[in-house]
């Protein structure tokens, strides 16, 4: 089998980081019988100081269908990367971030001609969305201004999770770059034993809403918290996810403290990836006012749990009302967000059963499509078929 080395900031057994971890874990699980995957990552989870229990640090571990090098604190350096490259002898490299220092170190070695001259796939995982680029905008602009003229990112194969992300990549990396579109890989099944009868009863005038994501500026939780006080009826709004951005969370706490008596907002903590869909099955609707998602695994997980979604228009999950899957609403239209939230409250049991069933069926059909695996496999095959990249030729 051809060997593919993946660079990712956080990997299994972690669960607190974003969608890239889930994409890679699912790709390894679903395609691990066709490709020999190796992974280099940290030996601890996002925000943690302690390393994983039962994992050998600064050594290779077998995790599922991949060999994983879990580096300890301060050990993701050039020497470690060169060691991993020597050990894994990859036929292609897969990067999961444009801005990650881990990937930048590899590309620097490649630019200097001291890393193997193999094809490189880069999946920026939503980093080029307008909303994401506005966060730490000056720092990102300066880096891009140095990296592209310095030819750090030349001769790459870019992977976009959707057509909108493809356009985002073109705007940043140039229209001449080679881009493949492949949806981020979901698991083979979600909530195999799903039963609508186990969901909470829905009645007009009351609703259970859930936000399940990292609590950080990009996820924009405060947007919904500012609108909720204007909603009539009984609302339970539970927040699940690690508190990654404390200044942002403090703003949210102030908004929560000012909620009227009919709105109850609670932070419930974090859940592992395996528990996400099951957790959401206890709610009526999923809410995500994100500034930008290139895919949004959690939206598909919400659908699998029979939860229609109320999301911003900065995800690939668009035209939801036409499919009876919820609403995708521009962030600037607070009036439409308020209207959608009120519809969630006012919906009766009969209408909810129909939209919940539509969401569940959409997820089942999406996961069953062979195109989910085939699209990613085409990206990998394109890289593996590519002739050796002559790093010095464009110098």
What CATH number corresponds to the domain at position 281?
Answer: 3.40.50.2000
Cα–Cα separations (whole angstroms), residue 303 to 35, 253, 277, 352, 361? 30, 28, 9, 13, 8
Examine the domain organization and report whether 269 and 160 are in the same domain.
no
Question: Is 357 part of a structural domain of the chain?
Answer: yes
Any idea which of 151-155, 158-162, 275-279, 356-360 has the lowest mean pLDDT?
A: 151-155
| Higher pLDDT pick, 19 / 318 | 318
Kindly report the pTM of this predicted structure.
0.84
Domain with 261 in it? 196-368
Please check whether residues 207 and 263 belong to one and the same domain.
Answer: yes
133 and 279 assigned to the same domain = no
- Per the prediction, the chain carries an average pLDDT of 94
In a domain, 191, yes or no: no
Residue 354 located in a structural domain: yes
Same domain for 32 and 178, yes or no, is yes
313 and 376 assigned to the same domain: no
**Residue 34 located in a structural domain:** yes
Residue 99 burial class via C-beta count within 10 angstroms: exposed 0-12, middle 13-18, buried 19 and up: middle
Greater confidence, 131 or 281? 281
Q: Do 100 and 174 share a structural domain? A: yes
One domain for residues 149 and 256: no
d(CA 281, CA 36) in angstroms, rounded, equals 35
Looking at residue 117, what is its pLDDT? 85
241 and 321 co-located in one domain: yes
**Number of domain units in the chain:** 2
- Domain co-membership, 383 together with 352: no
Residue 190 lies in a domain: no
| Same domain for 160 and 28 | yes
Of all residues in the chain, what percent carry a pLDDT higher than 70? Answer: 98
Do 203 and 252 lie in one domain? The reply is: yes
Q: Distances from the Cα of 224 to the Cαs of 156, 166, 245, 271, in angstroms?
A: 38, 28, 17, 21
Same domain, yes or no, for 166 and 218? no
């Amino acid at each position: 089998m051809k060997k593919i080395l993946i660079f990712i900031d956080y990997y299994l057994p972690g669960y607190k980081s974003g969608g890239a971890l889930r994409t890679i874990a699912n790709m390894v699980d679903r395609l691990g019988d066709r490709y020999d995957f190796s992974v280099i990552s940290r030996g601890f989870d996002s925000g943690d100081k302690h390393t994983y229990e039962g994992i050998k640090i600064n050594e290779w571990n077998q995790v599922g269908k991949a060999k994983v090098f879990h580096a300890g604190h301060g050990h993701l350096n050039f020497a470690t990367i060169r060691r991993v490259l020597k050990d894994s002898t990859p036929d292609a490299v897969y990067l999961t971030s444009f801005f990650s220092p881990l990937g930048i170190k590899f590309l620097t070695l490649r630019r200097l001609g001291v890393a193997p001259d193999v094809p490189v796939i880069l999946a920026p995982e939503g980093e080029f969305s307008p909303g994401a680029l506005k966060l730490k905008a000056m720092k990102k602009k300066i880096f891009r201004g140095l990296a592209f003229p310095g030819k750090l990112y030349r001769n790459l194969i870019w992977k976009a999770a959707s057509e909108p992300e493809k356009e985002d990549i073109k705007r940043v990396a140039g229209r001449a770059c080679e881009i493949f579109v492949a949806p981020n890989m979901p698991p083979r099944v979600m909530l195999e034993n799903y039963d609508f009868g186990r969901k909470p009863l829905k009645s007009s005038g009351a609703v259970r809403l859930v936000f399940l994501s990292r609590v950080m500026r990009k996820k924009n939780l405060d947007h919904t918290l500012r609108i909720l006080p204007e909603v009539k009826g009984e609302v339970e709004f539970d927040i699940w996810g690690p508190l990654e951005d404390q200044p942002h969370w403090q703003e949210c706490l102030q908004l929560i403290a000012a909620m009227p008596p009919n709105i109850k907002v609670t932070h419930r903590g974090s859940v592992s990836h395996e528990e996400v869909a099951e957790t959401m099955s206890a709610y009526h609707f999923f809410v995500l006012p994100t500034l930008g998602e290139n895919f949004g695994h959690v939206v598909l997980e919400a659908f699998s749990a029979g939860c229609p979604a109320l999301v911003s228009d900065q995800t690939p999950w668009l035209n939801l009302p036409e499919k009876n899957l919820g609403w995708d609403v521009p962030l600037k239209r607070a009036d439409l967000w308020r209207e959608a939230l009120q519809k969630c409250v006012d919906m009766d049991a009969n209408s909810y059963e129909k939209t919940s069933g539509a969401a569940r069926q959409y997820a089942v059909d999406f996961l069953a499509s062979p195109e989910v695996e085939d699209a990613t496999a085409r990206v990998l095959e394109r890289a593996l078929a590519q002739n050796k990249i002559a790093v010095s030729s464009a110098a």
